């Protein structure tokens, strides 16, 4: 059975408070003794009670004095390096929590972008009502995904590139070289990883093409279209001119 969580608050009952003090003081002494034995470090504990009784010292007064003298002889910078009061502790905790919140926000945004991309691949109508910022993030994610596919495909091709195999045949007084079947024009066999990467690239390109055909999408991405702009080219806020003609420039 799990122990009930103790409420950290002042114990109003005097007898209960004294009993808790003795019990926890004994536990503290035991923990410091274990720390000193297991890690081979010098440590001491000085605990003052709530009354005028002399303090409880571990391991002994002389040993505790040696540890305190060693600490007092340290430079001020070294002594204050690990010292912390309540204010500094709270500030450190707040900073740590802010960092954690920012990380969670980045992870949540990445998850939302990925979900939006999956919905766009399945059905372009799912992008209706999506704002310009979300669409910009989606385009960036598509480009990052295509770039990652290209890099993994190149790395896999370099890693497992087999030697070229030729088969010669005699035709009309001349020898004709034939490459191995089930491969590319250079005679390199296509692996299942390359085929899967190619299928993923085609699916993403199709989703982007379907997205570009949506009139509402072009209106969102080009707010000047309906504001009297009669130029021949549409201005996309985050891509240079001609980018929609080839949304994946790294696959040229």
Residue 57, strand partner residues:
46
C-alpha neighbours within 13 Å on the C-beta side of residue 221: 26
The answer to whether 234 and 217 are in contact (CB under 8 A) is: no
Query: Tens-of-pLDDT digits for all 252 residues of the chain?
Result: 567 777 888 899 999 999 999 999 999 999 999 999 999 999 999 999 877 788 999 999 999 999 999 989 989 888 877 777 888 889 989 999 999 999 999 999 888 888 887 887 788 777 777 788 888 878 888 888 888 888 888 888 887 766 555 544 545 544 444 444 444 544 455 555 566 666 666 766 766 666 666 655 555 555 555 444 444 444 444 444 444 444 444 444
pTM above 0.85, yes or no: no
Listed by start position, the domains of the chain span 14-76, 118-159+190-227+238-251
Q: Which CATH number fits domain 14-76: 3.90.420.10, 3.90.730.10, 3.30.365.10, 3.40.1810.10?
A: 3.40.1810.10
Return the C-alpha torsion angle 203, 205, 207, 208, nearest 10: 170
Return the C-alpha torsion angle 90, 95, 98, 99, nearest 10: -140
């Amino acid at each position: 059975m799990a122990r009930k969580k103790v409420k950290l608050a002042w114990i109003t009952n005097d007898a209960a408070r004294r009993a808790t003090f003795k019990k926890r003081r004994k536990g503290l002494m035991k923990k410091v003794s274990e720390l000193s034995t297991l890690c081979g470090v010098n440590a001491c504990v000085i605990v003052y009670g709530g009354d005028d009784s002399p303090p409880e010292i571990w391991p002994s007064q002389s040993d505790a004095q040696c540890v305190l003298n060693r600490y007092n002889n340290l430079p001020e910078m070294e002594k204050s390096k690990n010292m912390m009061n309540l204010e500094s502790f709270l500030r450190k905790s707040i900073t740590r929590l802010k960092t954690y919140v920012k990380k969670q926000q980045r992870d949540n945004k990445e998850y939302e972008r990925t979900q939006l991309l999956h919905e766009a691949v399945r059905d372009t109508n799912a992008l209706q009502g999506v704002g310009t910022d979300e669409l910009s993030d989606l385009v960036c994610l598509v480009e990052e995904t295509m770039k990652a596919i290209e890099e993994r495909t190149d790395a896999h091709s370099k890693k497992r590139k087999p030697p070229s195999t030729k088969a010669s045949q005699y035709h009309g007084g001349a020898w004709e070289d034939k490459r191995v079947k089930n491969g590319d024009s250079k005679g390199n066999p296509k692996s299942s990883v390359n085929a899967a990467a190619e299928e993923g690239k085609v699916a993403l390109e199709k989703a982007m093409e379907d997205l570009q055909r949506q009139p509402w999408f072009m209106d969102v991405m080009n707010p000047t279209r309906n504001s009297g702009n009669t130029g021949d080219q549409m201005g996309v806020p985050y891509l240079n001119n001609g980018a929609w003609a080839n949304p994946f420039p790294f696959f040229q």
